[in-house]
Amino acid sequence: MDWVEKYRPKTLADVIGNQSAVHELLEWGKGWTIQKKPLLLYGKPGIGKTSAAYALARDLGWEIIELNASDQRTKGVIERIAGSSSTTASLSGALRRLILLDEADNLEGNADRGGAKAIVDIIKKSRQPILLIANDAYGVAPEIRRLCDQVQFRAVPARTLAPHLKFICATEGLDCDADAIRIIAEEAQGDIRSAVNMLFGSAVGKDRISHSDIRVHQKDSRSSIFDMVAKTLSGSTDDNSLIMLSREVDDTPDAQIQWLESAVIQHREVWRRTLSLCYLSRADSYLGRTFSRQYYTLWRYASAIMLIGTSAASAGSGLRVKISPPDRWKRMGLARRQKTIRLSLLNRCSQAYHVPEKTVSDEYLTPIALLADASPDRFVRALNLDADQLALLIHDKARASAILKEIEKQDKEEEKRKAAQKVAMPKLPEEEMDTSHRDTVEKTPEKKKTEAQSTLFSF
């Protein structure tokens, strides 16, 4: 049997690490009411988010309904599976149903079309607890993220992971060296699933695991771009090791040039910066020929020039560089994010006002921005805007955040008021209910047959 499943925590007390996050999750479950927001559990893969969710359901006697990325999560599927489950009681006798949406940051593409909107509707109407799980909180659709409270799960330290691995060895009757346990715990880099899989792989067909047995079962430990840049800027004269490093990293030569460029400009001496950039420029010209001629043998020349040349220019400098992604990547990332926000805003306006997105962009975005600045709360409610979209309209990020917080506060108060009214409302006798129903039917024809279509200036 797979050890990951065999030693998956059965209760929250068995969860390894992340005690503060587990405590927050348990308090949320124990005190859950209809007014409580869903929880968004986020953090790197393999650190116990999904296991903690299942352990919570087991501890509290809840039934669990799960949708993950392996399922097709279109609007219809989500409403059929999670929608009905979120508003009905469990047939198995469980106290509640826990709606679990795993990999919520992977709601994209045609396969999940309409899924985000369906989840928003379910969250707003649900009478059952909802948990969402993601690797990256900002990969979750903003309209979903705004409706959730976030709990971060962090990588499990090696000192916390090692005792768990020793427990597995003792349970399986496996003799394992302390050094072997330490290596596995450190190589896993906080990933519990990876650590257990490495231990399982090392133990196949053995009664004892030593330090030497672990070497061939370590997690992929290829050199990273940081190792390559650091060795190049150290002025290494080992040309072959530099070339081997460039082949081990995942980044292509054109990306390696950009990483080196952001590092060499930190040289204090002008001549070192100039010489390094000349080598990088020459390497870039070889890459240009590679792409234009589709002759990829030229890559080796580009790699040799940029690595050996830059290393020679850095020799004896004693520079300790701050290695970070190229600045142009950060600017491009910000530009892409702004473009995504703008496109989502145009889409909301187009759907609400029945105007093509291009027309909204060319003719109506400025008047919409002026109206939104005058009455931002009404626009947020009408278009279901998040803080980023509102900030793009009113050009004030701090004010947009404050407005969204105030709206959330008002919504909570309104939900509490409705819940209190529902509890205090007396039940009408059956005859009175019939009379009120007839009165309603009689008054219905007096209403307008059609409502006016929403327009740009209906605010």
Q: How many residues does the chain have?
A: 459
Residue 74 assigned ligand-binding role: no
Contacts by 245-252, CB closer than 8 A, 24 or more apart: 245/307, 246/303, 246/307, 247/303, 248/222, 248/223, 249/222, 249/223, 249/224, 249/225, 250/222, 250/225, 251/225
Q: Is 49 annotated as a binding residue?
A: yes
How far CA 120 is from CA of 73, 116, 337, 451, in Å, comes to: 13, 6, 22, 25
Does 403 show up as a binding residue in the annotation?
no
Residue 11 annotated as binding site: no
Quote the distance between the C-alpha of residue 317 and its chain's center: 41
209 known member of a binding site = no
202: region left, alpha or beta (phi > 0 left; psi from -120 to 50 alpha): alpha
Contact 187, 218 (CB under 8 A): yes
Residue partners of 11: CB distance under 8 A and separation at least 6: 55, 58, 59
Does the annotation list 449 as a binding residue?
no
d(C-alpha 46, C-alpha 28), whole Å: 22
SS3 151: strand
44 is in an annotated binding site: yes
DSSP 8-state assignment for residue 223:
P
Residue 64 in marked binding region? no
Beta bridge partners of 175: 208
Q: Which residues are annotated as a binding site for ATP?
A: 43-50
Known binding-site residue numbers: 43-50
